[in-house]
Structure 1
Amino acid sequence: MCADLPRSPGHVFYDRLQSVLIKGGFDRFVEKLCEPYYASGPGRKSIPPGRYFRMHLVGYFEGIESERGLEWRCSDSLSLRKFLRLSLTHRVPDHSSLSRIRQRLPLEVHQEVFGWVLQALTKSGLVVGERLGIDASTMEANAAMRSIVRRDTGETYQQMLERIAKDSGIKTPTREELARMDRKRKGKKLSNKDWKSESDDDARITKMKDGRTHIA
C-alpha cells in the first residue's frame, strides 16, 4: 500500500516555501486571479492554478526553462510531489497542459503571481535582499531575416528587393545582384513596426552585441 511506504525527509527550502504560501493564502489568491480565464461550465478538469504556479516556481528557483523539464523534475522527486500537493496515486501535470495554460493566461497574471511570491518570501526572510538583479540575454531566433514580411502588404523582403531591382532597370536580377544592391541601398533601415517574422511572432529585428542585425 502507498500509505505504508516510508516517508523521506522533505526539501528544506520547499517545505519553508510551502509554509509561506499556505500562510499567505496563495491558493485562494491565484484562483481568484485566474478565475476570468477559466470556463465556468462543465468540461475537462484542469490543473488547479496553485499547482500550475507551484511548478513554475520550481522552474524559477532551479533554472529550468522548459515545461518538459519541469514535468521530468517534479516527477522524479517525492519532495516536489509533496510541494505540488500530489499523492503518489496522481501523476504530475504533463508539459503540454502547462504550455496550454501558459498561453491562455496573460503575462500580467504571471508577473503579479511571481511578484506576490517574492514579496511574501522577503517578508518571511526566506529570500534576503532589497534589490533583484535581472540578467537579460538576447538570443538569435529560429528564423532568418529573409523570412520577414511587410505587416501591411505581406510582401517578403526578397520580393521587395526584386521589385526595387526591376524599378531600377534590372529585369531578372540574380541572387548576387540582389545582395550587392541591398548592401549599397541608401536609407536601408528595417523597423519592427513595418516588418515581422512569418515563423515566429515573438521574434524581433535586433542588433546583436557583435553589431550584426538578426531576428532575435
Structure 2
Amino acid sequence: MTTSTEIPPRLKLEQYLGMQIRRQRQAQELKIADVARIAGISQGMLSKIENAQVSTSLDTLSRLCDVLGMPMSKLFSQYDQQGGSALLVKGGEGLEVVRRGTDKGHTYRLLNHTRGPKKSFEAYQAVEKSQSPRGSGKMAAILFCRSQPKPMRGLDLKQNELFSYTTLEQRIPNDHPLRPLRGLVDTVLASMDRDFDGLYSTLGRASIAPERLLRASLLQVIYTIRSERQLVEQIDFNLLFRWFVGLSMDERMWDHSTFSQNRDRLFNQDVARLFFQRIKSLAAWSEYASNEHFSVDGTLIDAWASHKSFIKKDGGDPPEDGTRNPDADFKGEKRSNATHQSTSDPEARLARKSNGDASRLAHMAHTMMEHRNGLIVDVECTEFNGRAEVEAALEMLERTAKPGSTVGADKNYDQKRFVQRARELKVTPHVAQKRKGSAIDGRTTRHPGYAASQKIRKRIEEGFGWLKTVGGLRKTKLIGRAKLSAQLLLGFSVYNLIRLGSLSGWWRGSHV
C-alpha cells in the first residue's frame, strides 16, 4: 500500500478497489498486459476493474492479489462506509456473489480490522462450505461490521500466525537462572565427551544425543515432573524447556520410550556418578566445598511396591478369587524380610523409621555432606538391614574423606565399629553421644569442633527434604537399587547445582 491517508466515505467500493489495484501495480512497475495474462483475465477486463467500470468477482480479485503479491486483507485496510451496524455487499450492489448463501455451511475469515478512539471496523470473508446442501466451497461475500469502540479492551484474535520472527534465544530472558545453569551443565557434559563416545557403537543409525537426554532429565528434577511421559509433553510445547535441552522450535520431540531404552546405557550408576563427581570437582574448584569437615546420614526411600506384593518366599497359597489383586488381611500374620519378599521389587525390604512407625517396603539412601556450604559430596544406596547406615557411611569415608577430617553423625552412628574404623582412617568421629554405652568420651567431645559439627550436621536433612519434595523421590518409580542409585546421584547433582547458583547469586527460586 503506497498511501497512508484514509479514503473519503463517498468513494464507492469498486472505485476504491480499482484505485488500490492500480497503485499497487504501478508501484511494482508492472504492465496491464502482464498482470492480466498471469491472472487469467483479459487486458480490457483489468482496465475496467481499475477504472471502476465493472464489479469484479472475489475469485478474480483473489487472483489479482496473488499476482501483485499482496494479501486480500490489504485491499480493505483503509476502506470504511458509513451508515448501519453492518453492510453485506451482494451481487448487483457491489462485488459479484459467486454463490448465494444457505442456512448452514458458512465460514467467516477475518480479513482486516481497524480499531481507534472514534471507530471500530472489521472486514470478514464469508465462504460456503462444499459440504453444505448447495455450497460451492467458494468465497460468497465480504461482510463489513461496525460496533461501538472499547478502547481499553484487547482483541481476542483467533487467527494463528504462520511465521515467527523471534528466535528461541530471544524468548528466554537474559536474567533467567536456567541460562547460567545450562552453562555449568554444558561445561560438565563437555568434559564427559570421551566417556559418551565409549557408550555408543561406531555402526548403526545415529541416536539422540546423550547430552540432550541428560539435560531433559535435569529438567524433570528441577520442575518436579512426575513422569517421563509428562516430561516429553512439557518439552514439546515449552519453549524454555526446548531451549535448555537444545531443540529448535521446529525439531521433533522424541518418544518417552527413549528414556527406557537408554536406561541401562546412559542412566546407570557409572554415568550418573561421573556426572556427580564432575559437579563436585566444579564446586571444589570454586572453593565452595570443604574437604575437611563432613556429616553422614541415611533415609528411607519408598519402593515401587505394595504390601500385597510382599508374600512368602516359598510362594504360599494362590489367592482364592484367582485375581491378581486379591483382598488381603495381614492381621496376626508375622512377616519379615527373612521369610517374605516383594514380587514387584525383590530388592525392597520391609522397614520402619523408628519404633511405632508404620512398616513399608523401602530402600536406603545415604549421603555425605561437607560443612562449608551444605553441598552433598557422596551418595550411596543400599538395602535396609539394620547395619546399612554404618556400612555405607564407612564406605563413603574411605572413598571421600582424607586423613585429619572430621565426620558428624547422629546417635545411630555411636557404635564401636563405626568409631573404631573412622579412627583407623584417621577421621575424627563427631557422633552424637548416647546416654549409656557411648563409644566416644570427653577426649572427643571437649573440643569446640565437636559442638560445631553437632550443630552443622543437621543441615544434611535439607538435602533429603529437597530430594523427596522437589526431586520427587519420596517414592521411587523404578524397580531395583541400581536404578534408584542413578536417580539419587542425578537428583543430588541438581541439588548441588542449585546450591552453587544460590551461593553465586544467579539462582532465584521464584523462577521455578
TM-score band, normalised by shorter chain: 0.5 to 0.7
Q: Does the Cα contact within 8 Å between 2:336 and 2:350 map onto a contact in 1? A: no
Structure 1 counterpart SS, 2:351: strand
The separation in 2 between residues aligned to 1:95 and 1:21, in whole angstroms, is 22
Match of 2:361 in 1: 215
Structure 2 counterpart SS, 1:104: coil
Q: Does the Cα contact within 8 Å between 1:18 and 1:83 map onto a contact in 2? A: yes
Q: 2:245 aligns with which of 84, 101, 104?
A: 84
Match of 2:345 in 1: 200
Q: In percent, how many aligned pairs have the same letter? A: 20
Matching of residue 190 in structure 1 with residue 337 in structure 2: yes
How do 1:159-198 residues align onto structure 2 when only pairs under 5 Å count? 159=317, 182-183=333-334, 189-191=336-338, 196-198=341-343
Structure with a larger share of its residues in helix: 1
Give the residue type in structure 2 aligned to 1:41: L
Q: Mind listing any 5+ residue stretches in structure 2 that lack a counterpart?
A: 1-161, 318-327, 363-512
How do 1:42-81 residues align onto structure 2 when only pairs under 5 Å count? 42-43=204-205, 45-81=206-242
**TM norm structure 2:** 0.30
Task: Give 1 or 2 for the bigger CA radius of gyration.
Answer: 2
Shift of 1:144: 2.8
Q: 1:13 aligns with which of 172, 177, 182?
A: 177
Shift of 1:51: 0.6
Q: Mind listing any 5+ residue stretches in structure 1 that lack a counterpart?
A: 160-174
How do 1:69-148 residues align onto structure 2 when only pairs under 5 Å count? 69-105=230-266, 106-117=268-279, 119-120=281-282, 136-139=299-302, 141-144=304-307, 147-148=310-311
Shift of 1:88: 1.4
Q: 1:91 to 1:215 in 2, by over 3 A?
A: same
Shift of 1:119: 4.5
Match of 2:195 in 1: 33
The separation in 2 between residues aligned to 1:59 and 1:4, in whole angstroms, is 29
Cα deviation, 1:80-134, whole Å, max 9, x if unaligned, reads 2112111112123332212321243322311221342354367569xx7768999
The separation in 2 between residues aligned to 1:133 and 1:74, in whole angstroms, is 36
Q: Does the Cα contact within 8 Å between 1:145 and 1:214 map onto a contact in 2? A: no
Q: 1:196 to 1:92 in 2, by over 3 A?
A: same
Instruction: Report the more deviating stretch, 2-11 or 49-58.
Output: 2-11
Match of 1:163 in 2: none
Q: 1:203 to 1:15 in 2, by over 3 A?
A: same
The root-mean-square deviation of aligned C-alpha atoms, in Å, is: 3.8
Q: 1:93 to 1:121 in 2, by over 3 A?
A: farther
Structure 1 counterpart SS, 2:171: coil
Give the residue type in structure 2 aligned to 1:142: A
Shift of 1:16: 1.0
Structure 1 counterpart SS, 2:201: coil
Q: 1:17 to 1:212 in 2, by over 3 A?
A: closer
Shift of 1:52: 0.9
Q: Does the Cα contact within 8 Å between 1:54 and 1:84 map onto a contact in 2? A: yes
Structure with a larger share of its residues in strand: 2
**Alignment: residue pair count:** 183
Shift of 1:55: 0.9
